[in-house]
Amino acid sequence: MAASKEELEELVEKLGKIKGRHTELITVYVPADYSLVSAQKQLEAEKSTAKNIKSRATQNAVMNALEKIIRFLKTFKKNPENGIAVFCGNISQVEGQEDLQMWSIEPMMSLKTKLYRCDKEFVLDALKEMLEVSEVFGLLVMDRKEATIGILEGKRIEVLHKMSSGVPSKVKAGGQSAQRFHRITEGLTRDFYKRIAEEVKKNFFEMKKLKGILVGGPVPTKDEFIEGDYLTAQLKNKVIGVRDIGDADEQGLKLLVEASRDILAEQEVIREKKLMETFFETLGENPDKAVYGYEPVKKALGFGAVDTLFLSKKIDKEIASELKSMAQNISSKIKIVSTETSEGEQFYNLSGIGALLRFSV
């Protein structure tokens, strides 16, 4: 089962603090579309390489860690839907002693990185990127010649589909009048817009995580497309930003994201503001269904009454971990609140701990 963002955050924080005495910490990323059997074969091959390690203690630690990971991967019938990340190694700080520990997680987003690394610390970059932004945004860059559709997931941009129009750029020999040629190219352009709209619908219409669509292209192409009757009303309402971009290829997707940083930041702020508005409104209008402060929230968690737990990023980590664990045990939703909004700052000043309740306690 895929981990929650909070579980991933907790693991990344824990693993980030671990430093090996030698290169005895192994990181394995098996991407979503990769065979676990192939991953196991690669690790078996790495065992042969590990025999060349000069230090006998380090060699044994690496060999034991590899064997432990291989045995673990063999317990799966198939690769989890989002792939899997495994971390294993000797974390003992005493020379000559071995404390072999292993952690694994199926992230909440599809793992795209394939990796084997043996180092003094675990490689966490791909997981940290998933924590940057929880939303997924659709991307479209287009002109009359080509279009590229992609997604922004955290900091990662993925190309989903590339298209070309076949619209000629100039009149060819053959006696066509300029007006007739213009009618033909306009017809081909409209057909291309329809094809783009069909691909946008195919990729985004049923995407549950989609928070919005960004569109880029030259003037007036993108405007003709957005203002025309091409996208369904539902998808048109999902368009949160339109930017002037010169490229309609993969580079164009990167330029679109860069040009839309203000919009993306605003979306995160809006999400947090809505969360806090709901909490404060409930606290004021229906105080039996909301509590704040460590003891009241812990009591409500103990009764199984918490529907949604709110924790400020700035509260004590041990307290946060304790309350998260209690919330997970009763299947409560967990929301982490920053102090980058006035509402988030107000919540932190109110203890940074709050909850919406399923029933009064």
Task: Find the range with the poorest average confidence among 136-150, 258-272, 305-319, 335-349.
Answer: 258-272
The amino acid at residue 27 is: T
Query: With pLDDT > 90 as the criterion, what percentage of the chain qualifies?
Result: 65
Regarding beta strands 115-119 and 156-164, do their DSSP bridges make them parallel or antiparallel, or are they unpaired?
Answer: unpaired
In 3D, which of 347, 344, 349 has the Cα closest to residue 268? 344
Coil, helix or strand at residue 179: helix
pTM value?
Answer: 0.58
Residues 6+ apart with CB under 8 A from 341: 269, 272, 273, 276
Handedness of CA 167, 256, 81, 68 (dihedral sign): positive
Count other C-beta atoms under 10 Å from residue 327's C-beta: 21
Q: How many residues does the chain have?
A: 361
Helix/strand/coil for 138: strand
Instruction: Name the percent of the chain lying above pLDDT 70.
Output: 96
Q: What is the per-residue pLDDT across 175-225, written as a single tens digit (0 to 9) for each?
A: 557 777 778 788 889 999 999 999 999 999 988 889 899 999 998 899 999
Contacts of 28 (CB under 8 A, 6+ apart): 39, 43, 69, 85, 86, 87, 88, 115, 116
**26 Cβ neighbours under 8 A, 6+ residues apart:** 62, 65, 66, 69, 86, 87, 88, 89, 116, 117, 118
In whole angstroms, how far apart are CA 243 and each of 139, 210, 256, 261, 273?
Answer: 11, 19, 7, 11, 25
Please determine, for residue 258, whether its predicted confidence score (pLDDT) is greater than 60: yes
| pLDDT at 73 exceeding the cut of 80 | yes
**Higher model confidence: residue 271 or residue 220?**
220
Sorted by where each starts, the structural domains of the chain and their CATH numbers stand as: 5-131 (3.30.960.10), 136-259 (3.30.420.60), 270-357 (3.30.1330.30)
Confidence bin at 233 (pLDDT 50/70/90) = very high
Instruction: Give the pLDDT score at 169.
Output: 65
Q: What is the pLDDT of residues 334-347, one digit of tens each?
A: 888 988 788 999 99
pLDDT confidence tier of residue 170, bands split at 50, 70 and 90: low
Q: Computed over its alpha carbons, how large is the radius of gyration of the chain?
A: 26
DSSP track, 97-125:
---EEEEEE--SS-----EEEEESS---H
HSE on the CB side for 92, CA within 13 Å? Answer: 11
pLDDT digits (tens, 9 = 90+) for 25-60: 999 999 988 999 999 999 999 999 998 988 898 999
State residue 173's pLDDT score. 47
Whole-angstrom Cα distance, residue 256 to residue 130? 20
Lowest mean pLDDT: which of 139-153, 160-174, 232-246? 160-174
Q: Give dist(CA 20, CA 159) in Å, integer.
A: 37
Mean pLDDT of 108-116: 90
